[in-house]
Structure 1
Amino acid sequence: MRLPRTLLRPRPLPPPPARPGEVLAAAEALRVRLGTREVLRDVDLEVRAGEVLALVGPNGAGKSTLLAALAADLPAAGGVVRVHGRPAAEWSAPELALRRAVLPQQAALSFPFTVEEVVRMGRAPHPASPDEDDRAVAAAMAATHVSGFAARPFPALSGGERARVALARVLAQAAPLLLLDEPTAALDLKHQESVLRLCRARAHAGDAVVVVLHDLGLAAAYAHRVAILCAGGVAADGPPAEVFSERLLSEVYDHPVEVLGHPRTGATLVNPKRNL
């Protein structure tokens, strides 16, 4: 029996390592509609290898929509999204899976896969290499502190444990562009810090990391750049120390905010003003 031509195609190979500062994803005059509502309009943004870019802003500002558009999971109503220099629509799904890995807000699985099996799903885009797969899976589980319950069924985990396993799957995928939607939302303080340190480590190793955050303190501490979204547009884009101003943040969040320097380290601290 002759196999269909599509089954005879070789799997695509991973891209070569990115150069420091190389643009791995970009939105140019991007507009995105969800139903009848225009969620993003005229967004210009670049994501570069070697940096952590935090997307911050109030609820409904378009952070998750922008992340999904950069991942080529949402179509553009106008403008263009480029991944590794090419319009996203020109990549096949297998090619995209080798270039970007996506962590959604919710990690849901209906079947009782074990933790290790879920993490191993991240290796699906790669040509079969059992030894390399084993190393990647073990390293990803160790980095996210889930190795101790590798044999447990995923549905039996707590919300925070599921979030860490889902992140381990993304890391095992070994794509140079990581797109993480609120990876710290279900985590305690220790694991929030661990995840953001991991983001910095991946950027230091040459990856580009985009992370949606609600905690402005975490964004100020760990992001190389922040893009502040407001009403579907980018209100500011730059290093946290430059764009986190009391005036802008108070305007964007419609709540008084204070920005301070840490008394010992000088690091930028962001807090809501409270009358207690």
Structure 2
Amino acid sequence: MSVVPNVRGLLRSRPLPPARPAPGELLAEAEDLHVRLGAEPVLGGVGVRVRAGEVLALVGPNGAGKSTLLGALAADVPAAEGVVRLHGRPVSGWTPAELALRRAVLPQSAELAFPFTVEEVVRMGRAPHAAPPAKDDLAVAEAMAATEVTGFAGRPFSALSGGERARVALARVLAQRAPLLLLDEPTAALDLRHQEAVLRLCRERARAGDAVVVVLHDLALAAAYAHRVTVLHAGRVAADGPPAEVFTETLLSRVYEHPVEVYDHPRTGALVVGPRRLP
């Protein structure tokens, strides 16, 4: 007996991708969010909103709760109290297949136990879709070109450097074509040129109508590319708003427990943020 009808039935039963969000549409929000890992409180009463067309940077010192908040927005970390909503619905109201069409997640590190090629890893981003092969091929090709990994498409993922793996992992996220991108330290393993390229990609995705939430340690990158920043400190929101309003020397020096300088670039007028160093 042929199994083709059953396969076709499974494909037809897959959920459809959501409609493209309207500019400024609320795609994700956390309200009075509390998260505990074991008995330890990690987030306490956090509120954040993520809108289509913006890059939101989550910044703060180590242990502030940035990755935990990102995981909660992705529905990967459960809330002890409060609520997380995606597209207006509590995350518990979405099936895994529906979530995969609505948000794409880049974890801090990407490890694979099997010898997949670069192209095969990127193609994993198409798994939630029941799309024609040509459409999958185009999405994969565009994602690989955007992250500059096309040249080693046939190489084993395990043979790549840390920076190359990070770019391939980002390509997988882009190939997923979800309207909400959740990126955890996407620039950590990258050189200066590729750090800038990744944040430009974030801006491009926001300009195209997506919402991008990115965890960053580099305050200068956040100041240059984020439309809005949420500063986390000890599991709570210390400030939220445009970088020009939120990034003050007083606030950042207190949160990071280190003197921070904030000034306008003498040539471009752009906001510059960095540690104050003794001569």
TM bucket, shorter chain: over 0.9
Q: Which deviations, in whole Å up to 9, do the C-alpha atoms of 1:111-130 show, x marking residues without a partner?
A: 11000000000000001410
Task: Give the whole-Å Cα distance in 1 for the aligned partners of 2:121 and 2:40.
Answer: 35
Alignment correspondent of 2:19: 16
Q: Say how many residue pairs are matched.
A: 274
Structure 1 runs (4+) greater than 2 angstroms displaced: 6-9
Q: In the alignment, residue 150 of structure 1 is paired with which amino acid?
A: A
Provide the rounded CA distance (Å) in 2 between the counterparts of 1:258 and 1:221. Answer: 15
What is aligned with 1:106? 109
Give 2:231's aligned amino acid. Answer: I
Contact (CA 8 Å) 2:11, 2:130: kept in 1 or not?
A: no
Shift of 1:26: 0.1
Residue deviations 1:149-172 (CA, integer Å, cap 9, x gap): 000000000000000000000000
Match of 1:29 among 11, 24, 32: 32
Q: Give the aligned residue type for 2:172.
A: R
- Residue 92 (str. 1) matches residue 102 (str. 2): no
* Counterpart Cα distance in 2 of 1:7 and 1:203: 33
Confirm or deny that 1:137 pairs with 2:125: no
Pairing 1:265–2:268 present: yes
Let me know the Cα RMSD of the aligned residues.
Answer: 1.4
**Any gaps of 5 or more consecutive residues in structure 2?**
none
1:8 to partner: Cα distance: 8.4
Distance change (3 Å), C-alpha of 1:257 and 1:75: same
The equivalent of 2:220 in structure 1 is 217
CA displacement, residues 202-226 of structure 1 (integer Å, 9 cap, x when unaligned) = 0000000000000000000000000
What does residue 149 of structure 2 align with? 146
What residue ranges of structure 1 are gaps of 5+ in the alignment?
A: none
Task: Decide which of 72, 79, 84 is 2:82's aligned counterpart.
Answer: 79
Once the two structures are TM-superposed, the CA of residue 275 in structure 1 deviates from its matched residue by 1.3
Separation in 2, partners of 1:232, 1:140: 34
Q: What is the CA–CA distance in structure 1 between the aligned matches of 2:42 and 2:12, rounded to whole Å?
A: 38
Report matched runs for 1:1-276 at 5 Å: 10-276=13-279
By how many angstroms is 1:45 displaced?
A: 0.5
Shift of 1:73: 0.2
| SS in structure 1 at match of 2:13 | coil
Q: Residue deviations 1:55-98, cap 9 Å, x none?
A: 00000000000000000001100000000100000000000000
